Structure 1
């Protein structure tokens, strides 16, 4: 693989004996082949990130099964507004004043609210809380995903994503979230 250049350094001039200068040249073809083999090996043997997706069960459009009503005392409604803010209330709109919150993990964050309200509903009714998520026109897709993630983290699996009503839009407008 290595070659030595033994060409002379010129003709014979004078009576001095000079040593020949030898230059070395290394052939890197084998090294490049090995590098590409290693890159190919590691590309084929590594696993790529698998997408993480949450399963959503959607009802059939032609399904005529009627659901039994859920008591308003165990229903929490989350209204998604603009500016990464939200409003929530337990019960019916207009009868219970909404509380403004955000997506943080603090005291006004949706995670603490979901945990507290779920425990309160469980202790008063003995049943699980049902959460209704209502995104507005001014909310972004990330807000819906954040709420669904928080529902999954807090283990609230009874929820629905529903269209927002005009009464609830008025609540958001009143608090400058629409």
Structure 2
């Protein structure tokens, strides 16, 4: 509570009744202030931006190539109608398989287990996934593929939206993806 102090004169006037001091109760205002503070703190914490962290490399000339075994590389091509094509290894020797986006997670986990079984050192057990969205794929499938990387705990994945090999294009065209 708050009170408003009014200074009194030193002399009392005879015959007049003394007026009580005016009091202003600010309890409701304090309660309202705390409610507003709580409300705005809650709304700012609920409205945090949900975004994916994607880092794409900067183009350098000449390009730098890292030595990474093809046996640890999985390539995923995103197509239309919630379909994808995946393969392990090099494009020239690839055995491409089609999969729908709902069962992509099982294929990623199966290939990850295969890589972990076939390689000896912990550094070599890490699988690299190259995600290639095509012109016919949609944004939802791309986000789902990135989410699957996080769910499957794939530490190394790359997004290659510039280069799709002819073999990949012809396979996708033959499957209608």
Question: Considering the TM-score relative to the shorter chain, is it more than 0.5?
Answer: yes
Change (3 A) 1:176 1:56: same
RMSD: 2.4
Tell me the distance in 2 between the aligned counterparts of 1:61 and 1:97. Answer: 30
Tell me the distance in 2 between the aligned counterparts of 1:117 and 1:45. Answer: 45
Picking from 38, 41, 44, the partner of 1:45 is 41
Tell me which residue corresponds to 1:110: 104
Calculate the TM-score normalised by the size of structure 2.
0.69
Asked if structure 1 preserves the Cα contact closer than 8 Å seen for 2:74 and 2:130, the reply is yes
Distance apart, 1:64 and its partner CA: 5.4
Unaligned runs of 5+ in 2: 1-28
SS in 1 for 2:176: coil
Asked if structure 1 preserves the Cα contact closer than 8 Å seen for 2:75 and 2:131, the reply is yes
Q: Which runs of 4+ in 1 moved over 3 A?
A: 36-43, 62-65
Distance apart, 1:175 and its partner CA: 0.9
Calculate the TM-score normalised by the size of structure 1.
0.69
Distance apart, 1:129 and its partner CA: 1.1
Change (3 A) 1:45 1:161: closer
Change (3 A) 1:45 1:96: closer
Unaligned runs of 5+ in 1: 1-32
Picking from 147, 150, 153, the partner of 1:152 is 150
Tell me which residue corresponds to 2:130: 132
Distance apart, 1:174 and its partner CA: 1.0
